[in-house]
Structure 1
Amino acid sequence: MLKAVILIGGPQKGTRFRPLSLDIPKPLFPVAGLPLIQHHIEACTALEEVKEILLIGYYPAAQIQQFVTDMQHQYNINIRYLQEFTALGTAGGLYHFRDQIRCGSPDAFFVMNGDVCADFPLRELYEFHKEKGKKALVTVMGTEATRQQSLHYGCMATDKTTHEVTHYVEKPSSYVSTLINCGIYVFSLDIFHTIGEAFNSKQQEFYRNGNGSKDTGYIQLEQEILTPLAGSGKIFALQVNNWWSQLKTAGSAIYANRHYLELYRIKHPERLCQTQTSAAGDSCKNICDIFPDVHIHPSATIHHTAAIGPNVSIGPGVTVGPGVRIRESIILADAVIENHSLVLHSIVGHNSRVGRWTRVEGTPSDPDPNKPFAKMENPPLFNHDGRLNPSITILGCYVSVPSETILLNSVVLPHKELARSFKNEIIL
């Protein structure tokens, strides 16, 4: 029997994901038609040994509970949300809820960061962990990055024969390795002894010497657990070539959307609209031009003269008028795209309206797909000189863009009614 833990953080986090996280918790933001962490849950339920999934975070329970209930009914598996009432760190949350994780004596448990997007190879990761036997406390999923980009992640040096992690540094100041930590793990239950030792050490340091922080329950998995374990023969890394990325900035949602839609071709082709007008769900029947890959919710209304795709997700209740062109974009629930408008490289928030003959466009610098780090694209919102980075255009919820205007490389906060065109601006 196995369990899975998904670490979803809390409302103080995800500030780089604004304005999209202002009205919906970041873990529930829809990517390729599904809330972000539903992709995690779906990957876990693909393993029949996984009997329980625990979500750990400090969002108010009221924001998460309905989602948890829906997932339990949809996947017929026990899912619980365990709320922290203060930030405990990636390892502190695990240790605080250790009794709930150990209940039922699982053979091991997965831990997944909630902002990770991936083709989750959980079966491969677990089999690798079992091969290492009882000496393995933790197996880390790793992937290859460039030398420059590796500095922004946890870097691992490994023994090429045994795959033991001999050195681990979180966000090093100089080059360590191009093998980086993906934030996906398999843990043996004995890991709680190691976390407990770190917890007790922090308490003793504070109460005996008056040093350190009063917040002794805040324990970071990467710095305080993985780094000391490296070289002990108890931590291993499995390098995979599967697609992997992180959802740190709002702009990264477009890249994650693209790759999840691509995965649907193999795993869930029924979620994609086809080029044939009658090949998919009701919302696709009257569409003449679909350029794969495209996901359209069945409740959306799409005019038959619209052209959609590639790499587009359209949410429930969306209305798309005649002559509209949408490409490389996410259109959230109940948005309206009026006649003959163009939406490129953009995210349109729920209940927003784009007027007639309007152009909403971003101009992202697409990564070279032949480079290993192309799968991790996470463009920053600002350049080093403080100017807005050429990126996707983002409309928050309840935004109104007037007819016959242009919105280029701009971010619009929720509940704004624009009166003119904008270029490279943040509209507060």
Structure 2
Amino acid sequence: MDHFTYKNDILHAEDVALTTIAQAVGTPVYVYSHATLTRHYRVFRDAFKALNPLICFAVKANSNQAVLATLAREGAGADVVSKGELMRALRAGIPAEKIVFSGVGKTADEMEYALKAGIKQFNVESEPELEVLSAVATRMEQTAPVSIRVNPDVDAKTHAKISTGKAENKFGISWTRVDEIYAKIAALPGLVATGVDVHIGSQLTDLAPFREAFIRVVDLVKHLRANGHDIRHIDLGGGLGIPYVAEEKAPPLPAEYGQMVIDVLGDLDCELIFEPGRLIAGNAGVLLTEVIYRKEGEGKTFYIVDAAMNDLARPAMYDAHHDFFPVKRDTDAEMDVADFVGPICESGDTFAKGRKTPRLQGGDLMIMKSCGAYGAVMSSTYNTRPLVAEVMVKGDQYAVIRPRQSLEELISLDCLPHWEIVS
């Protein structure tokens, strides 16, 4: 459930008409619903109430300070993959002891910053990373809490570009090398093994791959404990999918996922950590855009909108589906079948093909749904298109939470070399 609904045939975010936001802020613009964010977090949290887990929002899904601060007030932690994301989480009010640091390429500088902050744990993904972390922690006279991200070689049956748990993926350490890796942690100074980490991919729509991976994790934890390792945390990552296509079968509900986790891991006496991102933020945001032209092609109709692949990369990158809805609903409108495209000079700048829609014209407003995760965070300035604005709505109020970048601001980031400067 989200809080984007029609009222008097005008699409609203909670109690604010999207026409009001478009007029005041311009388009394209990301619009987030505070009520949807908090509801999704609470539904996920309540699915695991019996286990009292630590829920660390995956900052890579949406790193806006307003989003992070909203979730921090709900009690969320953070899963970060860079120094910048860690800095954002801390500034948004997420306590360091609720932050886990993931990612395959942590630098010594990032490790030092995280150790100074006092984060909960490092999710380590390679032997060289262990060695660098040991050296940094030893130099700082600290002990770094470590969980090894174990690659369970489980096929998540999701898009190849967001699958992370198979043997050929770059993430984690092979299941077959766990004993020697944990023995290495015990031997290296400045490190202590406190947990196990597993994340098999994103946008999973079936619980079977989760169950398969988690059963392996249970056996692994028992084995490591028998070998003298004090395993206190299990980080189960994120990955539960959201409904992108209204007509298709919805992914499992958090309550179903929670019951499966309780069944498989409930007796293990470990603190559980989850890293949901898309599940919390995905359907809490839309991309509001304006139709520039309706173009009749050779046997095909195009709606050219003012949003582009630099603003929302998912369709070009993953062939991702986003539902389109007009902001002004007209139940008597003539229907059209068209492609929705952006103005960038790339054939890949296409949001939808052969989509059935009420007939539109230049100046009409539309939204793309399910854009709250991996939308604004993946945007770029390709074609010298400034980064778009972001807005959060709460009830009948709205606030710009990231102003639209101006062309002057964007171009002024360039610096001419001294030999091009004429005095």
What TM-score does the superposition give when structure 1 sets the normalisation length? 0.27
- Higher helix residue share: 2
Higher relative CO (CA 8 A, sep ≥ 6), structure 1 or 2?
2
**TM-score normalised per structure 2:** 0.27
